[in-house]
Structure 1
Amino acid sequence: QTKAELEFLLAWQKKRTKSQEERAGEVLAPIGYWPHIGLLKSHSRYKSNLEHLFFEGRTVLGESCKPENYPATAKLLEGVTRDMRIMEFTVKYHLLRPRPYQLNDKLKPMAQMSTPSFASGHTLWAYIQAFVWSELVPTKRSEFLDLAYEVGESREIMGIHYPSDEEAARILAHQMLTEMLANSVFRADLENAKLEWK
């Protein structure tokens, strides 16, 4: 399977367009909320970190979708992302999968990553966000999921993740949300956030 996926990524490398490279590398790659930065208002990336937290909401719902306008939603997404990051690095450092370009030197990735490959953190982040946003604004579910798919595919375009990294992240995100829905603290935060979208 790994050999087949490496061939798939080599094919992506040959066919990717300049606009795909720019979208993947300049728009989607920098996106991601980091909980430790969110603790320090004095951090140089505090403001951009908060903006990233609402990336999917803003992309689908418009520029007015930002943390200061939806504080309960911000609290919900911060908690979800904190748990997601713990899961992400637990899986990565348990399985220690090499990056594709570490196994095939014909791959010329658009970035070099210092963490293991499986599962894709960007994809896990994108899907768990999409699933939560879909709970808040169900009528936009397809747009949120399409955006999450694009984020995952962008990691393949860049040559830094296998397709199975993306698929595993999508499944893991769904399993995480299922577990979260059984948690009373999460459900309370979710209901408070839903009130902002009535």
Structure 2
Amino acid sequence: MLVVGMGLAMSPSPAHPAPSGPSLSGPPLPDGRVFLPPPPAAETAGSAADASIFADTRVQEGSGRWKLAQRDARHGVGHMLSAFSCAAGFTLSPAHLPRLEALLTRMEARVEPVIALEKAQWNRPRPYSAMELPLCVAERGEVAHTPSYPSDYATLGWMTGAVLSDLLPTRTAQIMRRARIYGESRVICGVHWHSDVTAGWMNGAVLYTAMRQEADFAQGLDAARTEIEALRDHPPAHLPPPDPGECAQEDDAAAHSPQ
């Protein structure tokens, strides 16, 4: 079992100090409490569908999809970035992408307070708070009492996919497929309802559209683009390509969404 916290924040490695980039300040971001739909109410078709998906996915314990979900649950922006390597077509090493890692870290720090307000608005219990069924991470205890809707991992995963799509436009389809899988891993893990994740995708799309219009964020993207194109075109000899087995697991996950 893996222990996973609520956030994804990870400071850039001291060996690779982050260059200066966009600050954490900026204009107010769109309020998800206005544009997101509320989570399904009890005893509705949506609530029943969420419960059915949660129960059905528990049987995947120990499977390849389960192991992929465990990898996706690793804590830190660096792990989230690396998770998109198969989709990018080359290894996204945080150690070789300090500007991009710094941009994602700042993006997360900007968005996390917004997600916290959204979660507090609906205060939805997590699916495992009342049911002792297998989880792919050790996330019971205090975390079980934190709100479930919308999913912060799905929100940030979708935004990361949007960033990478901006930087590697010829790989947009593969990257956004991976962003979908990344969110669905929270359902496979059993730590979010399916509707938490779909709301996270909407949340990420809206928040990224807003941030993308900000001049300092656009400047950070430009710096990250130069960096990632250099890594793509001239990868270091010691940097291995993405693991074929993990890429195959992602392909299979894409074809078998939890529903």
Query: Is the TM-score greater than 0.5?
Result: yes
For each residue in 1:90-116, what CA deviation from the matched residue of structure 2 results, as whole angstroms up to 9, or x when unmatched?
A: 22233211011225x364433435131
Q: Partners in 2 of 1:121 and 1:16 — Cα distance?
A: 23
One-letter code aligned to 1:158: C
Q: Count how many residue pairs are aligned between Structure 1 and Structure 2.
A: 178
For each residue in 1:118-171, what CA deviation from the matched residue of structure 2 results, as whole angstroms up to 9, or x when unmatched?
A: 111221121110000000001111121121111111111122211111111001
The structure in which a higher percent of residues are helix is 1
User: Structure 2 matches for 1:41-120, cutoff 5 A?
Assistant: 51-52=78-79, 54-59=81-86, 60-63=88-91, 65-103=92-130, 105=131, 107-110=133-136, 111-113=138-140, 114=143, 115-120=146-151
Q: Partners in 2 of 1:185 and 1:122 — Cα distance?
A: 24
2:198 to 164, 167, 184: 167
Q: Partners in 1 of 2:222 and 2:67 — Cα distance?
A: 38
One-letter code aligned to 1:97: R
Shift of 1:117: 0.8
1:30 to 55, 60, 74: 74
Aligned match of 1:147: 178
For each residue in 1:24-62, what CA deviation from the matched residue of structure 2 results, as whole angstroms up to 9, or x when unmatched?
A: 12x1111432xxxxxxxxxxxxxxxxx325324534343
1:21 to 46, 66, 73: 66
Shift of 1:17: 5.8
Q: Partners in 1 of 2:186 and 2:156 — Cα distance?
A: 13
Q: Partners in 2 of 1:21 and 1:56 — Cα distance?
A: 15
One-letter code aligned to 2:126: R
Shift of 1:15: 5.3
Q: Tell me, yes or no, if the aligned pair for 1:120 and 1:165 is still in contact at 8 Å.
A: yes
TM-score where L is the length of structure 2 = 0.61
One-letter code aligned to 2:135: P
Secondary structure at 1:112's aligned position in 2?
coil
Aligned match of 1:11: 56
TM-score where L is the length of structure 1 = 0.78
- Greater Cα shift, 78-87 or 51-60: 51-60
Q: Tell me, yes or no, if the aligned pair for 1:96 and 1:117 is still in contact at 8 Å.
A: yes
Secondary structure at 1:102's aligned position in 2?
coil
Distance 1:166 1:53, change over 3 A: closer
Unaligned runs of 5+ in 1: 34-50
Q: Tell me, yes or no, if the aligned pair for 2:135 and 2:191 is still in contact at 8 Å.
A: yes
Q: Tell me, yes or no, if the aligned pair for 2:158 and 2:179 is still in contact at 8 Å.
A: yes
Q: Partners in 1 of 2:98 and 2:73 — Cα distance?
A: 26
Instruction: Determine whether 1:137 maps to 2:181.
Output: no
Q: Tell me, yes or no, if the aligned pair for 2:80 and 2:157 is still in contact at 8 Å.
A: no
Q: Partners in 2 of 1:90 and 1:56 — Cα distance?
A: 27
Give the superposed CA RMSD: 2.3
- Give 4+ residue runs of structure 1 displaced > 6 Å after superposition: none
Share of identical aligned residues, percent? 24
One-letter code aligned to 2:79: H
Shift of 1:16: 5.6
Q: Partners in 1 of 2:161 and 2:196 — Cα distance?
A: 17
